[in-house]
Amino acid sequence: MKFYDPLARTTVYQNNLTHWEQDHATYFITFRLADSIPAEAIQKLSIKRETWLLANPRPWTDELEMEFHKRFSHKLDEWMDLGHGECLLRRSELREPLAEIFLSDHGKAYQMMSFVIMPNHVHLLASLIDMTLPEVMRKWKGSSARAINQLADRTGTLWQKDYFDRLIRDPKHLFRVTRYIQNNPTKAKLPEGHFTLWPQGEATSVA
């Protein structure tokens, strides 16, 4: 497992969000269904986020990163946990092919450490081995969109255009992210059968 190295070569690219990539790094990744947050709310938050980012360019101190996630990432998580949109992934038969896709290259192209499939979004923790972050995201989102649309007898856009990723810095950061993934269903007050947590097991208590 490789953590973020501030001295290593880092590729930075911009879609709707800014992505930092290092070879064989470990990432916390979030992506959501296209209808999971109202567009107006996203637009307003994006304007505030871009203003904050201009005033606070990366790399960040631990304190600045905590401030960023408190202001923006946590707000997005709160909105997603409210269950906005169609919440297609509440259906177990639609979560199953997604989980299979996540695990299809586990131990080969990447080491999957943990993931949770919520009704309208996904959180993952993975260490890349033989794929870049854009490559693995194209596979996960593209393959799952085709499979889920077919099973749900629907057409059109399934996932949001972009995704959120964060390079894991150290073992302490890894532990916090793992606990967050495990606790997400409990935090969102989801009943059994409305989410998929991998590996299976009891989530730790919410701090």
Q: What is the pLDDT of residues 72-106, one digit of tens each?
A: 777 778 878 887 889 999 999 999 999 999 999 99
Phi–psi pair at 12, nearest 5 degrees: -115, 125
Does residue 150 form part of some domain? yes
Instruction: Please say whether the beta carbons of 29 and 163 come within 8 A.
Output: yes
Does residue 1 form part of some domain? no
Does residue 206 form part of some domain? no
Instruction: Please say whether the beta carbons of 158 and 86 come within 8 A.
Output: no
Domain around 101: 11-198
CATH code of the domain in which 121 resides:
3.30.70
Lowest mean pLDDT among 47-61, 62-76, 163-177: 62-76
How far is it, in rounded angstroms, from Cα 204 to Cα 187? Answer: 11
Does residue 203 form part of some domain? no
- What's the pTM? 0.81
Does residue 53 form part of some domain? yes
Give the helix/strand (H/E) hosting 41: helix 39-55
The residues near 33 (Cβ < 8 Å, ≥ 6 apart) are: 85, 86, 87, 88, 89, 120, 121, 158, 159, 160
* Percent of the chain clearing pLDDT 90 (strictly above): 57
